[in-house]
Amino acid sequence: MSGIVIVGTQWGDEGKGKATDQLGERVDYVVRYSGGNNAGHTVVVGSETYALHLLPSGILNANCIPVIGNGVVVDLGVLFSEIDGLLARGVQADRILVSSNAHLITAYHQVLDRVTERFLGRRKIGTTGRGVGPAYADKVNRVGIRVQDLFDESILRQKVSASLEQKNALLVKVYNRPAISADQVSDELLQYADRLRPLMADTALVLNDALDQGKVVLFEGAQAHHLDVDFGTYPYVTSSSPIAAGACIGAGVGPTRIDRVIGIAKAYTTRVGEGPFPAELFDESGEKLRQIGGEFGTTTGRPRRCGWFDALLVNQAARINALTDIFLTKLDVLTGWEKIPIVVAYEINGVRHTTMPMTQTDLHHAKPIYEYVEGWSEDISTARQLSDLPAATRAYVTRLEELIGVRISGIGVGPGREQTVMINDLL
Ligand code: IMP
């Protein structure tokens, strides 16, 4: 057992950082393979809380090597400010490896992210505004700037100028914004070159060698299945492939290297940004979930939209990611409800669907059909094994397992590292 992927099964913010960090103590490498600093991982270690956006959360475990894979888009300002923030708190964060092929988020990507959102008006995606989408667009368009470009100044300047030529025309003529200076962008990037050089690596080679040696490599998904550019609620998605298969492309390992895929599912559902969300609650239960669950974005501080557990979402994620295990998070947030609703089907134009609808139009018309299970009032935050949980809590977990079709191997019962009920070992 050596290649393990952790992937979000809903719309992100499932608490992947906690699960990754839990495993991090026993793994040799923790790899980010998609997304950028649009992610938000909160990890609580003892009395310290760490909010990470770009760095893999395994960075907090001294024995593991954190890696930023080729599939990540890197904002160098954010990279070094997160590293410096951790160094100041005594975490040896500068041992990270960054792929020479990873693309960079530059100042113009951030500007474009914001102006296009404003331009879209009512049709906006609700992005995090970090420049992630435009950086991936440049990658696919073959006008991106990569980590390795920082070490060939003349090439860097040519590439930045070429990339900006069309963008400046767009900024000035369509969006009525000032043009961006290519020299200024290049100078800004070059100021990071000396610090970046010792971190840059052929990370695909490093990871394949590590797997050959039987080392444990954990691929840490950012965002989640339903934000995937192919399988998510397009166009209300992120611009990369957070699904498990994305680990192969975004880190450079073949599919047969992946032995286990752990899906992280929150015991209820949340979403930030725009897009369809059939189970969304607009009443006081939604507000209560938001307050008790602390459902405010780690990256943007935006209040998250909340709803009950939607089995259709997680069931689809189980199928497409070939999940071997589920890690259920934030179960403690559901303590105190008399009955707990679970979305078991959608009603779309009078027809009952038990799998996600095939088209965007149908998804926009989906209404949740609930099943109700008994709630519990006991404090479960000190539970450490399944038998510590009240019977009603166990029944809720079993019902979710049936609906998802994948075993639940771990349960989060509070924000602390130790507040976990482990059922099956994840390694
Ligand atoms: P972008 O990734 O900034 O382009 O945003 C695209 C969509 O993905 C928006 O709806 C964001 O709110 C959402 N999103 C991006 N990253 C995360 C995340 O880490 N958690 C939850 N939602 C995210």
Query: What confidence tens digit (pLDDT) does each residue in 281-324 have?
Result: 999 999 999 999 999 987 778 899 999 999 999 999 999 999 99
1 or 336: whose pLDDT is higher? 336
Give the active site residues: 13, 41
In the chain, the percentage of residues whose pLDDT exceeds 70 is: 99
Which residue lies with its CA nearest to atom 20 of ligand 1?
Answer: 12
Question: What tokens were used for 306?
Answer: 């909340």
pLDDT score, position 58: 82
Please determine, for residue 24, whether its predicted confidence score (pLDDT) is greater than 70. Answer: no
| DSSP per-residue codes, 325-383 | EEEEE-GGGGTT-SEEEEEEEEEETTEEESS--SSHHHHHT-EEEEEEEE---S--TT-
Q: Return d(Cα 257, Cα 376) in angstroms, integer.
A: 41
What separation in Å is there between the alpha carbon of 239 and the centre of ligand 1? 9
pLDDT score, position 21: 65
In the chain, the percentage of residues whose pLDDT exceeds 90 is: 88
Q: Is the pTM of this model over 0.85?
A: yes
Q: Which atom of ligand 1 is nearest to the CA of 133?
A: 4
Phi, psi of 353 (to 5 degrees): -115, 130
CA proximity to 261, closest of 219, 215, 213? 219
238-259 tens-digit pLDDT: 999 999 999 999 999 999 999 9
| Residue in the structure block whose two tokens are 């960090």 | 21
Which residue lies with its CA nearest to atom 19 of ligand 1?
Answer: 39
**Strand, helix or coil for residue 29:** strand
Q: Return d(Cα 160, Cα 85) in angstroms, integer.
A: 29
What separation in Å is there between the alpha carbon of 293 and the centre of ligand 1? 19
What separation in Å is there between the alpha carbon of 124 and the centre of ligand 1? 12
Pick left, alpha or beta for residue 131 (phi over 0 → left; psi -120 to 50 → alpha; otherwise beta): left
Strands 305-307 and 269-271 come out as antiparallel
Banded pLDDT at 16 (limits 50, 70, 90): confident
Q: Return d(Cα 120, Cα 117) in angstroms, integer.
A: 5
Question: What tokens were used for 324?
Answer: 């071997």
Ligand 1 pocket check for 110: Cβ under 6 Å:
no
pLDDT score, position 200: 98
CB 427 within 8 A of CB 19: no
Ligand 1 pocket check for 227: Cβ under 6 Å:
yes
Q: Return d(Cα 339, Cα 184) in angstroms, integer.
A: 59
**Strand, helix or coil for residue 411:** strand
Q: Return d(Cα 166, Cα 174) in angstroms, integer.
A: 11
- Angle, vertex CA 238, rays to CA 234 and CA 243, nearest 5: 90
Q: Return d(Cα 105, Cα 102) in angstroms, integer.
A: 10
